[in-house]
Structure 1
Amino acid sequence: MKTPLSFCTGLALGTLALSAAAESADLRVYTYDSFVSEWGPGPQIESAFEAQCDCDLEFIAVEDGVSILNRLRIEREGNKADVILGIDDALIEETRATSLIAPHALDLSGLKAELNWHDSDFVPFDYGYFAFIYDSTRVGQPVDSLRALIESDASVIYQDPRTSTPGQGLMLWVKSVYGDDAAAAWTRLASHTVTVTKGWWEAYSLFLEGDADYVLSYSTSPAYHQVAEGKNQYRAAAFSEGHVAQIEVGAITRNAQDPELARRFLQFLISAEAQAIIPVTNWMLPVVDDVELPDAFDSLIRPERIGFTPQQVEQSRRDWLREWRSAASR
């Protein structure tokens, strides 16, 4: 979900076409729109997996990871997905609570030890850290903490936590740093927020057009600009309080037409072949070791991780959303 979508004309029509084609597909995957864009990992992942499975894989795209969960809740047992791809670790307990997810039965011992992953339903396929990106040709001295950003007058664009996983990540970030004072922080941030977008690509595109000093994205976003565009001015601001991490996951739905094929797809996502594709198309970090990455990844900030467990998020997410909605609208 991390590739700048400068040319999004026709994406909605493309999504409708994918949905129609998926009716007869062997494997149908709900994911987010930038994953299936021509710049994202979807096309290469589809081609590589179909070469192995002798099957027809179709992606059905929605705007963001939160939108995947919202679609499952609306469609319930009528959903068309065999696999969901793009829910993150902050949403796994709410997604599990829908009772629409089946165990994956995969051996995950090959995952990076730092992930400490032992979930029986969800399989990680990449991870990263939320960060505010700035253009160093416009911002001379970047802020060095979340508090400094919120207390500044710098123009900011971020995403709606009700519809976007980065937006939700910022909500967890603010709550982690400010605690009971989070509402006041949201009100202060609102005074210099340019706009709050529904999804990641819209926010990032506006930032690239020069509409704000900072945009909420990922610590890995500068690697895209260096590798794909040869541009070095885009940087991630390192915050002294630490950064909230995001682990993106896939899962098999209980109404999957071919659960074994769905399982094979998740196994493929954590294979060396797929993991070599994802970092340089989705611009996140691989979940397995020994993946060769471009030198640009060596220049990225290395944040300290802060935040909440998935269980804590599930218990408090609705309250925190209400707090954000009330404070940010003042």
Structure 2
Amino acid sequence: MVKSSSLALAVLVAGLCVPATAQDAPILTIYTYDGFASEWGPGVPLKEGFEAVCGCTVNFVGADSSIGTLRRVQLEGDSTEADIVLGLDTAIAGEARATGLFADHGLELSGLSLPGAWADAQFVPFDYSHFAFMHDTDTMPVPPASFEELIALPDTVKIAIQDPRSATPGLGLLLWIKAAYGERAPEIWAGLKPHILTITREWSESYALFLDGEADMVLSYTTSPAYHIYDEGDHTIKAALFEEGHFAQIEVAGILKSSGQQELARQFLAYLTSPEGQKAIPTTNWMFPVVDLGAELDPSFAGLPQPQKTLTLPEADIIAHSSEWIDEMLTAVQ
């Protein structure tokens, strides 16, 4: 069992919060992406679970993407109604940090289970997975085992990817290729160009093309097959593991300095990273939890192949060069 102050704080919330009337209950407003806030997303069970112990009302406000949530609070500044922004990831956390809008969370998170140690004063992780290309074993029994093997396939083999300017998986692919190939990244993009069926604005559009059979592979996550196993009993959708390694997406939440509910926001983040809160994540957001749930992790996640090597890039390099790398990619594929 993971022992950390996040769990202790969650227990403290349960013990100290006093029931309040609907009129008196404080409101905690959380900006997140639409999928998280939807009726089938983790927002529903997290809202119910936290409201049961906090004597408050949780109000999730959805945007079209996690990048969209950041842009919204940047526009609203100190006048924003948001107390927490939830759903950024480590690829854009540096940009978010540089805005100066986020407060220190004050939680001790060393006991979390992640692909690497966590030491971030502003952002709290709540789930993770690695970027990967999905394939259907019925139509592609043996997938490519590297970007170079993918490039070497006939041009009739098509992939669907996402735009790095609007979708975090698209940005993740950009960083994955840069981390794996460095200065050779434009060469890899040029090699991928004949295989790119389309570059969609959001993940859902490209995944739909894959499910409809229009694309042979689609950029998604190593945990995506769990959805098909859990919801459809379908074991044919697999993640292709690349020998270069894979770039991880770690989703995070942060408290805004302008929030008038600092302590309540901190208590929510403690609940979010507690075993109770984490149980809501896997089969609603289809990502790994950041605590070891043991036997409570749904069997659909058991045995999912995972990369042996996690690729990373320094946050400072992402901040300094992401725009340049996006231009580099667009020049190569257009």
TM-score (norm 1): 0.88
**Structure 1 residues 105 and 294, CA, compared in 2 at 3 Å: closer, same or farther?**
same
The count of residues paired between Structure 1 and Structure 2 equals 306
Contact 2:131 2:247 in 1 (8 A): yes
Residue 205, structure 1, aligned to residue 208, structure 2: yes
Q: Tell me, in whole angstroms, the C-alpha distance in 2 between the residues paired with 1:144 and 1:179.
A: 19
Q: Tell me, in whole angstroms, the C-alpha distance in 1 between the residues paired with 2:198 and 2:114.
A: 38
| Mapping for residues 253-272 of structure 1, pairs under 5 Å | 253-272=256-275
Contact 1:64 1:200 in 2 (8 A): no
**Structure 1 residues 114 and 324, CA, compared in 2 at 3 Å: closer, same or farther?**
closer
| Mapping for residues 312-323 of structure 1, pairs under 5 Å | 312-323=317-328
Summarize deviations over 1:101-146 as a string: whole Å, max 9, x none.
Answer: 0111112133126531111110000111001011111112211112
Between 179-188 and 214-223, report the one with greater CA deviation: 179-188
Structure 1 residue aligned with 2:163, among 160, 165, 169?
160
What is the match of residue 20 of structure 1? none
Q: Tell me, in whole angstroms, the C-alpha distance in 1 between the residues paired with 2:263 and 2:327.
A: 40
Shift of 1:81: 1.4
Shift of 1:260: 1.0
Q: Tell me, in whole angstroms, the C-alpha distance in 1 between the residues paired with 2:63 and 2:152.
A: 34
| Aligned-CA RMSD value | 1.7
Shift of 1:25: 7.5
**Gap regions ≥5 residues in structure 1:** 1-23
Residue 53, structure 1, aligned to residue 54, structure 2: yes
TM-score (norm 2): 0.87
**Gap regions ≥5 residues in structure 2:** 1-24
Q: Would you identify which runs of 4 or more consecutive aligned residues in structure 1 move more than 4 Å?
A: none
Between 225-234 and 111-120, report the one with greater CA deviation: 111-120
Q: Tell me, in whole angstroms, the C-alpha distance in 1 between the residues paired with 2:330 and 2:26.
A: 40
**Structure 1 residues 260 and 328, CA, compared in 2 at 3 Å: closer, same or farther?**
same
Structure 2 residue aligned with 1:177, among 176, 180, 185?
180
Which structure is larger by alpha-carbon Rg, 1 or 2? 2
Q: Tell me, in whole angstroms, the C-alpha distance in 1 between the residues paired with 2:68 and 2:211.
A: 24
What is the match of residue 313 of structure 2? 308
Shift of 1:72: 2.7
Summarize deviations over 1:179-236 as a string: whole Å, max 9, x none.
Answer: 2222232233222211111112222122212220111000000011101211111000
What is the match of residue 17 of structure 1? none
Q: Tell me, in whole angstroms, the C-alpha distance in 1 between the residues paired with 2:66 and 2:37.
A: 13
SS of the residue 1:102 aligns to: coil
Q: Tell me, in whole angstroms, the C-alpha distance in 2 between the residues paired with 1:190 and 1:97.
A: 33
**Structure 1 residues 54 and 205, CA, compared in 2 at 3 Å: closer, same or farther?**
farther
Residue 299, structure 1, aligned to residue 303, structure 2: yes
| Mapping for residues 69-80 of structure 1, pairs under 5 Å | 69-80=70-81
Contact 2:114 2:128 in 1 (8 A): no
Q: Tell me, in whole angstroms, the C-alpha distance in 2 between the residues paired with 1:205 and 1:37.
A: 18
What is the match of residue 13 of structure 1? none
Contact 2:147 2:188 in 1 (8 A): no
* Percent of matched pairs sharing the same residue: 45
What is the match of residue 195 of structure 2? 192
What is the match of residue 234 of structure 1? 237
